[in-house]
Structure 1
């Protein structure tokens, strides 16, 4: 009787566990082979692409694009802040399904992820305080130059062929966890210059007071943003590419773009 009672209790517990919580199957897919619930990974300090606003809500240009794409594909999407330095690991381990946060397309990243078609152009600008004597890339010799770890800015700096990086103070850029930290230490005088995505940089300078900063004519290269997916997610790539193309054709992309980049 004791064994029977234990068996009944165990069976009941298992049934309760199965019925407890959401009935949604995170691995369920649509008829087109796309997961019904997508998780988008992002650095929630990367304004205006994807970031937390004053209310703690995740907003931004990429967030609005992703919501519209998910709506048209009739799937759910949630936004998951991640350690951006671990982004490809998070993607390929299955913790997230998309990297969509000012994610620069590079040859090195193409070896790890599947990219959508490019949807926005960008470049890596050099920013100093307005009263800085630095005027050109060559003037960075002996100076403390900072950027965010794991970012495309680091890749662009390391790919530079002019030889100036070896002349930075300590022979390499100073790396910070977020671009907020990068800007804060530039303002405090702990660094002399920073390298940052132009999209983020100009948005941040506008919020902080653009007159305080100077953007050099030189830069560390032009690039394009894309959506990152796992290599096997070819159906998802095709769906995103097709939907984004339709959004550009019907004016929706331009509406979202104007919301975040009015100037």
Structure 2
């Protein structure tokens, strides 16, 4: 933390295609829920942010190697990650087109499922094979570098469904011309929470982030950011112990 304060900025690793958490607008500007939240927290300490786009499948490696200082991008807690970094969890849903007649996990029998490479969704598919892997075609999802590409293939009929966190699903569907064409299905995976990933040795940095989030929760800033990105039904996707 002292090094970051002396340097004047913190390197934050993101997947810049992860709508609505961190994503690029047409003009190239990085925006999103986590962008607003991270900027607001570090502003409390007079620290600017340098957002770094990373290969999401290498997120913990980038953190441990010192390429970035923090992962702030809908980062989910998994046993493998927990052994390496501090983190927490998020909810997962299945999203599909209604015309595919997928209304439950059982309906994914012999269907193609898309997931992001390196995501907690993919890990859950493989860690809990009886939930989805045993049902879907080839017993493994089709992997994509970004969720943007999975939605393109879903709309084009190249995949039957995709595993995605509910925050992204709700944001995407609400902005479609015909949102009624889509359906969301509870995946039955263990419930998770979004968190901020830091190196296990960076105790002070983690404490500063936690304190910042507590301040934002108490003064109403967190609620305003939630409403901005998730509307009237907004509940913070970042839930901490």
| TM-score, with structure 1 as normaliser | 0.82
Question: Does the alignment pair 1:208 with 2:176?
Answer: yes
Once the 2 structures are TM-superposed, how far is the Cα of residue 199 of structure 1 from its aligned partner?
0.6
- Contact kept, 8 Å, 1:148 with 1:178, in 2: the verdict is yes
SS at 1:80 equivalent: strand
- In structure 2, how many angstroms separate the alpha carbons of the residues matched to 1:141 and 1:65? 39
Residue 88 (structure 1) aligns with: 60
Residue 23 (structure 2) aligns with: 51
Gaps of 5+ in 2: 233-241
How well do the aligned residues superpose, as a CA RMSD in angstroms? 1.9
Deviation larger for 170-179 or 210-219:
210-219
Question: Does the alignment pair 1:248 with 2:217?
Answer: yes
Once the 2 structures are TM-superposed, how far is the Cα of residue 176 of structure 1 from its aligned partner?
0.9
Of the candidates 147, 151, 154, which is equivalent to residue 115 of structure 2? 147
Q: Deviations over 1:93-141 (max 9, x none)?
A: 11111100000122221111123xx5xx741111111212222101111
Query: How many residue pairs were aligned?
Result: 231
Gaps of 5+ in 1: 1-26
Question: Does the alignment pair 1:73 with 2:45?
Answer: yes
Decide which structure has the larger Cα Rg and report it.
Answer: 1
Residue 178 (structure 1) aligns with: 146
SS at 2:12 equivalent: strand
Question: Using a 3 Å threshold, how does the CA distance of structure 1 residues 35 and 153 change in structure 2: closer, same or farther?
Answer: farther
Once the 2 structures are TM-superposed, how far is the Cα of residue 218 of structure 1 from its aligned partner?
4.4
Once the 2 structures are TM-superposed, how far is the Cα of residue 161 of structure 1 from its aligned partner?
5.3
- Contact kept, 8 Å, 1:126 with 1:220, in 2: the verdict is no
- Contact kept, 8 Å, 1:126 with 1:219, in 2: the verdict is no
- In structure 2, how many angstroms separate the alpha carbons of the residues matched to 1:137 and 1:35? 49
- Contact kept, 8 Å, 1:123 with 1:219, in 2: the verdict is no
Residue 109 (structure 1) aligns with: 81
